[in-house]
Amino acid sequence: MSKNKLKIAFYWAASCGGCEIAVLDINEKILDVVQIADIVFWPVAIDIKYKDVENMPDKYIDITFFNGSIRNSEQEHMAKLLRQKSKTLVAFGSCAHQGSVPGLANLYNKKEIFEQVYVKDKSNINPQAVTPKTQTQVKEGILKIPEFYDTVKTLDQTVDVDYYLPGCPPPVKLIAGAVDAIASNKLPPKGSVLAPLKAVCDECPRKRENKKIGKIYRVYEKAPEPEKCLLEQGILCLGIATRSGCGAQCLNVDMPCTGCGGPAPNVPEQGAAMISALASILGYDGEPGKTKYTEKEIEEVLSQVQDPVGTFYMYSLPASILKRKVIKK
């Protein structure tokens, strides 16, 4: 291992694994990484144990790319350990950045989740309603597993984070840009999001005409016009409230933005920003010039939004003002 090379680590917490694949998707750019860095910890790719990290001196790792939200005690332990051992910690991907899809579990608590998964699910045969315990006695001794938490948290709700690389997974272009910034020692100020300072709408080639919409469609209910703004066609698209850097790839194949890039710059609350944007264009096409609507009319239009939390907070519930559903004791 060269003393002149950076020491880099990767870790996978509560996420799907797509961020691990995204690292490989940089293709030949990985050769640039090999030139400037040695990978000292990457459990998914190399044989290394937690105790090896524990034995490293503090700040031994130059940069750790941590993907996944914090769902259990093992992930919290590793977040704190890697923070202690790393000079720079990067929240890599939507789950670490905003909580992402695993964070929708915050609509429930541990008891409700365990009952659904291990007891109520029709595929289960569990007459004694057995659910996982942190410690179980087996003939070899006591078997221990991580504690499952009530609340999913983002990485920066657990430890101090230096940089954020958004996306589900982060786009190759952003990963490559981060590698170049590391290689040239040109990282921006601490706390920066390593993505452009504009919204997805600014990268989208579709034409916007500021038209009102009177009906909301799900993606399978309408074949969109190829050059027209999806939101102005009544298809919910979060591009207006989402940070760019993806090249509007979803929109280029007639799929709306679902918000994986996190909040656009100067947008403190992604879900609320999207709800506000939607409110500004909701109307009734059949009544030109109408500017005021009854409460019943507003409810009728909004009722067309299926699964509001899953739509407006798919990637950001744990990081939002809401954070989670209130737990009733």
Q: Are residues 52 and 125 in the same domain?
A: no
Q: What is the pLDDT along the chain (329 residues), one digit of tens a residue?
A: 566 789 999 999 999 999 999 988 877 777 777 788 899 999 998 999 999 999 999 999 999 999 999 999 999 999 999 999 999 999 999 999 999 999 999 999 999 999 999 999 989 899 999 999 999 999 999 999 999 999 999 999 999 999 999 999 999 999 989 888 887 889 999 999 999 999 999 999 999 987 788 789 999 999 999 999 999 999 999 999 999 999 999 999 999 999 999 999 988 899 999 988 888 887 655 565 666 667 777 677 778 888 999 999 999 999 999 999 887 76
Q: Does some domain include residue 40? A: yes
Our count of domains for the chain comes to 3
Which pTM does this prediction carry? 0.91
Residue 145 falls inside a structural domain: yes
Does residue 26 sit in the same domain as residue 158? yes
As given in the structure block, the two tokens for residue 155 are: 């990485």
At 291 the pLDDT is 61
- Note whether 141 and 62 are same-domain residues: no
pLDDT at 36: 82
Same domain, 63 and 167: yes
Nearest to residue 98, comparing CAs of 226, 264, 287, 225?
Answer: 264
Residue with tokens 């991580």: 146
**Residue 180 one-letter amino acid:** D
Residue 132: closest CA among 146, 120, 150, 122? 146
- Same domain as 145, residue 88: no
What CATH number corresponds to the domain at position 163? 3.40.50.700
My answer on whether 140 and 256 are in the same domain is no
Residue 56: the pLDDT is 97
Does some domain include residue 327? no
Answer yes or no: is 326 within a domain: no
What is the domain range of residue 60?
6-101+152-183
* Domain identity same for 71 and 211: no
Q: 93 and 121, same structural domain? A: no
pLDDT of residue 285: 53
Q: Is residue 192 part of a domain?
A: no
- The pLDDT assigned to 144 comes to 94
- For residues 41 and 160, state if they share a domain: yes
Between CA 146 and CA 84 the distance in angstroms is: 20
What pLDDT is recorded for position 293? 67
Same domain, 266 and 298: yes
- 145 in the same domain as 61: no
In a domain, 212, yes or no: yes
243 in any annotated domain: yes
Is 319 domain-assigned? no
From first CA to last CA, the distance across the chain in angstroms is 53
> Does one domain contain both 121 and 257?
no
